[in-house]
Structure 1
Amino acid sequence: MKNVGESDQPIPLPNVSSSVLKKVLEYCEHHRGEPLPAPDADTSQDDTRKRTTDISEWDQKFITVDQEMLFEIILAANYLDIKSLLDVGCKTVANMIKGKTPEEIRKLFNIVNDFTPEEEVRLLALPHSYHQLILSFWHHQAQIKKENEWAEDR
């Protein structure tokens, strides 16, 4: 985001509600002066596992909000390009689903299982790499749907 200085001109933020913006500003104020996170150089499995759980105590307390607010903070952090806040939000979601079965995850996020029993059996028989690909695609589609619904509500 470009430095806008001390201008009295409003900055349009069509995808961010005032309550979410207040939380984002609280986060930014707390982390002001901290160095920007370095791009991830190592993506080994152990490193990835560590990155999903290493949330500071302050950030854990900050991000302890209801699901709707959590996802709106994630969307706002993405829209405003605040990588560290986006990471905290995504790590929080990752920690929420870690160790849960697909059914528990569906219940947690109120996701309707639209697979037929036959489709589920067929999916579970696929190698792990296919599961990752399918989950990646599903997540991408769900994110686009959520962003579109969120933008329509504003």
Structure 2
Amino acid sequence: MLTAAYTAAACRIASLERKKFDAVMASGEYNCAPNAPHGMPRIFEIPDLIGLYLFARLNERGQTVKQAAAVACRVVGQLKNAVNNGLPIPEHVAVAHAMNGASYCCPGTDANPLASQIGGVGSILWTEMWNVANLKAEVQRGLAEEERIAGGADE
């Protein structure tokens, strides 16, 4: 089974129009997409695809590009941190937002939904918990479909 996708396939998996993705990338707001040498396609691995899928869902539900990108990129950071440390992708990720505008992201197992303070961040205003296991399942279904119809090579 595929475990990565080029940009066009990643956009299909995330149900994000390619032109919108290009515009978002040009704006500089979505800064966690994989890098690629000039003229080469980006290669989105599972954490990247989960982030792009989450970004698209948040944006279509009314969050601005900047807001959706900020949350999605925090989640991607947590997922890549786990993978880079030889750990499995966490099933849940929490993002706590402080009254001063700062935020803190951690695996869901480390989150305390009743906490009112986070050291170094301050008083918590709200906490979001993302079900990464479900997001990953959606991404894997999309990768399987890409493999079925095109073999994943489309750029």
TM-score, normalized by length of structure 1?
0.24
Higher strand share: 2
Of structures 1 and 2, the larger Rg is shown by 1
TM-score, normalized by length of structure 2?
0.24
